[in-house]
Amino acid sequence: MSVVVTAATGALGRLVIEELLTRLPADRIAAVVRDRERAADLAARGIELRIADYGDPEALAGAFRPGDRVLLISGNELGRRVAQHTAVIEAAKTAGVAQLAFTSFHRAPDAEFRLAEEYRVTERVLTGSGVPYTILRNGWYTENNTDRLAAVLAHDAVIASAGAGRISSASRADYAAAAAAVLTGDGHLGRAYDLTGEVAWSYEEYAAELSRQSGRTISYRNVPAEAHLDVLTGAGMPQPMAEIFVDLDAKVAQGAMAHTTGDLAGLIGRAPTPLAETVRTALATH
39/153 same-domain check: no
Q: How many other CB atoms are found less than 10 A from the CB of residue 228?
A: 21
The reported pLDDT for the residue numbered 155 is 92
Looking at the structure of the chain, the number of domains it has is: 2
Whether residue 85 lies inside any domain: the answer is yes
Q: Is the pLDDT of residue 286 over 90?
A: no
Whether residue 191 lies inside any domain: the answer is no
227/250 same-domain check: yes
Q: Is the pLDDT of residue 184 over 90?
A: yes
Average pLDDT, the chain: 96
Whether residue 96 lies inside any domain: the answer is yes
111/239 same-domain check: no
Query: For residue 73, which phi and psi values (nearest 5 degrees)?
Result: -85, 125
Return the amino acid letter for 153: L
Residues 124-158 as b or e (16 or more Cβ within 10 Å = b): eebeeeebbbbbbbbbbbbbebbebbeebeeeebb
| Extended strands (E) in 106-229 | 133-138, 157-160, 166-167, 191-195, 201-202, 219-222
Whether residue 161 lies inside any domain: the answer is yes
One DSSP character per residue, 55-81 reads: T-HHHHTTT--TT-EEEEPPP--TTTH
Whether residue 265 lies inside any domain: the answer is no
110/147 same-domain check: no
**CATH number of the domain within which 56 lies:** 3.40.50.720
What is the rounded CA–CA span in Å between residue 136 and residue 27?
25
Q: Is the pLDDT of residue 264 over 90?
A: yes
Query: Under a CB-based contact definition with an 8 Å cutoff, are residues 200 and 258 in contact?
Result: yes
Q: pTM to 2 decimals?
A: 0.96
Task: Give the percent of the chain with pLDDT over 70.
Answer: 100
Q: Is the pLDDT of residue 152 over 90?
A: yes
Reported residue count of the chain is 286
Q: Is the pLDDT of residue 96 over 90?
A: yes
145/284 same-domain check: yes
| 3-state secondary structure (DSSP) of residue 279 | helix
What is the rounded CA–CA span in Å between residue 134 and residue 214?
40
The reported pLDDT for the residue numbered 111 is 87
Whether residue 187 lies inside any domain: the answer is no
93/156 same-domain check: no
Eight-class DSSP state of 269:
T
Q: What is the pLDDT of residues 36-91, one digit of tens each?
A: 999 999 999 999 999 999 999 999 999 999 999 999 999 988 889 999 999 999 99
Whether residue 190 lies inside any domain: the answer is no
Q: What is the pLDDT of residues 116-142, one digit of tens each?
A: 999 999 999 999 999 999 999 999 999
Chain-centroid distance, C-alpha 155: 28
Residues 17-50 as b or e (16 or more Cβ within 10 Å = b): bebbbeeeebebbbbbbbeeeebeebeeeebebb
Compute the average pLDDT of residues 155-172. 97
Q: How confident is the model at residue 260 (pLDDT cuts 50, 70, 90)?
A: very high
Q: How confident is the model at residue 282 (pLDDT cuts 50, 70, 90)?
A: very high
Domain containing residue 219: 140-170+196-258+272-286
205/236 same-domain check: yes
Compute the average pLDDT of residues 228-242. 92
The residues, any chain, with a CB within 8 Å of residue 129's CB and separated by 6 or more, are 89, 90, 93
Q: How confident is the model at residue 14 (pLDDT cuts 50, 70, 90)?
A: very high
**CATH number of the domain within which 165 lies:** 3.90.25.10
Query: Under a CB-based contact definition with an 8 Å cutoff, are residues 93 and 85 in contact?
Result: no
Whether residue 176 lies inside any domain: the answer is no
Closest CA to 255 of 112, 109, 105: 112
74/212 same-domain check: no
Task: Give the percent of the chain with pLDDT over 90.
Answer: 92
29/118 same-domain check: yes
The helix or strand, by DSSP H or E, that contains position 103, with its residue range, turns out to be: strand 99-105
Residues 229-257 as b or e (16 or more Cβ within 10 Å = b): bebbeeeebeeeebbbbbbbbbbbbeebb
For the purposes of burial, counting CB atoms within 10 Å of the CB of 215, is it exposed (0-12), middle (13-18) or buried (19 or more)?
exposed
The reported pLDDT for the residue numbered 221 is 97
